[in-house]
């Protein structure tokens, strides 16, 4: 064998072939990363570091309520600003219980407001990803409101809650005498999804409601559950929560099955994705 043979071997030929390579096209999950010797490839390592940085940025990004408020006002919606007991982001992350309770100032604000209720209250909370709320909340609400018109339900002013956990919505809705609350909140960022919005719905909300008494719609973003499908799911849950007078584990999401439609029908065009029989 020519002694120069080994010098002519190209670098890409050293890389081992991975039979999972084709699966990458079907998911954002980190699969089939490949390796060189005992190490992952440099590009994969850099991509991981970038994704981790984006996730951290999503958590620490300040909640821009003015921007969301302007967009909602342009849609003809009123807004109210409140805060939890967590005075800043560091306290919020270390004391989750503080994020579930209203500050004294916000309690006084809502009590003085003396709002006498609506069928549905929307609360937008920053949660663990302000980036998700900035990107997804308003487009989702735009798709959701026509369903409330169809049901003839009233929607209260949108509450923008800073340093908020999910349960804060129950406290707010109870003080505003609303029959149901849907809390739109930034989900814990993943390495491939730093901007995922979640919606938690509680029928007859009050302080002390258990997590099992809420319905959750998760992963709302263009790369996940579309605004249109998520809006229909929430509207379907609201209609059925009022009919059955319950939410949470007692109310199963069967919005994908046309046999369980009541008044509402999906407005979305890509209904073929739903399990219509």
Establish whether 187 is an annotated binding residue: yes
Establish whether 123 is an annotated binding residue: no
114 backbone dihedrals φ, ψ, rounded to 5°: 50, 45
For 128-172, give the DSSP string.
Answer: T-HHHHHHHHHHHHHHHHHHHHHHT--B-PEEEEET--TTHHHHH
Which DSSP helix (H) or strand (E) runs through 198? Answer: strand 197-203
- 58: Cβ contacts below 8 Å, ≥ 6 apart: 128, 129, 130, 131, 132, 186, 189, 194, 195
Establish whether 166 is an annotated binding residue: yes
Neighbours of 258 (CB within 10 A): 14
Query: How many CA atoms lie within 13 Å of 96's alpha carbon, on the beta-carbon side?
Result: 5
Centroid of chain to Cα 216: 9
- 178: Cβ contacts below 8 Å, ≥ 6 apart: 117, 118, 119, 120, 121, 156, 205
| Cα dist from 250 to 201, 203, 214, 230, 246, whole Å | 13, 11, 9, 20, 7
Annotated binding residues:
166, 187, 216
Could you tell me which residues are annotated as the binding site for adenosylcob(III)alamin?
Answer: 166, 187, 216
């Amino acid at each position: 064998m020519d002694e120069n043979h080994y010098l002519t071997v190209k670098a890409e030929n050293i890389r081992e072939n991975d039979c999972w390579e084709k699966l990458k096209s079907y998911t954002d999950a980190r699969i089939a990363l490949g390796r060189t010797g005992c190490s992952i490839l440099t590009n994969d390592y850099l991509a991981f570091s970038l994704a981790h940085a984006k996730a951290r940025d999503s958590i620490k990004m300040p909640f821009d309520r003015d921007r969301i408020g302007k967009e909602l006002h342009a849609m003809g919606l009123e807004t109210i600003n409140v805060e939890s007991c967590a005075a800043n982001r560091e306290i919020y992350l270390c004391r989750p219980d503080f994020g579930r309770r209203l500050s004294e100032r916000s309690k006084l604000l809502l009590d003085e407001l003396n709002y006498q209720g609506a069928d549905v209250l929307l609360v937008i909370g920053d949660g663990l990803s302000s980036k998700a709320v900035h990107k997804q909340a308003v487009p989702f609400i735009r798709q959701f409101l026509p369903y409330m018109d169809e049901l003839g339900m009233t929607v209260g002013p949108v509450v923008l809650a800073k340093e908020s956990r999910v349960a804060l919505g129950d406290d707010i809705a109870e003080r505003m005498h609303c029959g149901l609350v849907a809390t739109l909140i930034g989900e814990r960022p993943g390495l491939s999804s730093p901007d995922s919005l979640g919606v938690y719905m509680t029928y007859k909300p009050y302080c002390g409601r258990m997590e099992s008494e809420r319905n959750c719609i998760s992963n709302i973003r263009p790369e996940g559950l579309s605004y249109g499908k998520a809006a229909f799911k929430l509207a379907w849950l609201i209609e059925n929560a009022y009919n059955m007078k319950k939410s949470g584990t007692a109310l199963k999401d069967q919005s994908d099955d046309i046999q369980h439609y009541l008044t509402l029908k999906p407005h979305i065009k890509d209904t073929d994705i739903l399990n219509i029989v």
